[in-house]
A = this chain, B = another copy of it.
Amino acid sequence: MTIDKLSINLATVREQWDLREAVEACVRHGIKAVDPWRDQVTKLGLAESVRVIKGADVHVSGYCRGGMFTSPGAIDDNRRAIDEAAALGAECLVLVCGGLAPSSRDLGEARKRIADGLAAVLPHARANHVPLAIEPLHPMYAGDRSCVNTLAQALDLAEALGEGTGVAIDTYHVWWDSALEAQIARAGRLSKIFAYHICDWLVPTRDLLLDRGMMGDGVIDFPRIRRWIEAAGYRGFTEVEIFSKFDWWMRPGDEVLRTCIERYKATLR
């Protein structure tokens, strides 16, 4: 079974390695694609990060992340993120759209600011050929991270915005949704699946942000969701993204990558 379509989101090994070490390790394990985070790129410097990635000849399945449109300075910051994504040759810029504005309880207003922010940065993204992948986040992040909480909502935005906008589907955020199969099919019809991330939901979950699971350790039915994604025509990378302060961030990076590969293969069944 091939791993040609496996990508590693570098947050998965962020506590073990910097960007250079992580990319070298991925190459060592035969992994063909990565998704770096902005803080990792900043730490190494953009020019050097580009050299490392081009030198290793790995694909960049996405760049994490833009968005946060309810925070001050978001538009300029997203334009810079688009420039970085373009320099890295990323297939898309992943957007976590932002939660409620500071000291606001107005979800409607936050959602309007998100739509307006997306529209404001889209011309720059199009000019630089960087697709914008709106990632719906689990509803437990509506307060502080994203008021876009279902695939239906993300697709409504992408459909309204048009060319150059799509969605990043992360199993961790959407697995619970009774509309998931229908919305994945809709995303396929619209040709708007720009990224597919995998990560398991643990029972119990001990931390709202940093207790995500390796595929197989939780309750998500990966083969089923994969069939829906394939039926929708998606042929891109499957990216493993796991924030795990109690478990995987504590283990040697090589063990983490070996496990990602084994478990990824199991999700193809």
Contacts and interface: CB of A to CB of B under 8 A. Distances in A.
Contacts of A106: 221
Nearest to A174: B139
Contacts of A144: 203-204
Interface in A129-175: 138-140, 142-144, 147, 149-150, 153, 175
Taken together, the copies of this chain in the complex come to 2
A2 interface: no
A176 interface: yes
The 7 tightest CB contacts between A and B, nearest first, are A142-B176, A105-B221, A143-B203, A139-B176, A143-B219, A140-B140, A144-B203
29 contacts: A100-B219, A105-B221, A107-B175, A107-B176, A107-B178, A107-B221, A111-B178, A138-B139, A138-B140, A139-B140, A139-B176, A139-B177, A140-B140, A140-B176, A140-B208, A142-B175, A142-B176, A142-B201, A143-B201, A143-B203, A143-B219, A144-B203, A144-B204, A149-B177, A150-B178, A153-B178, A204-B208, A205-B208, A208-B208
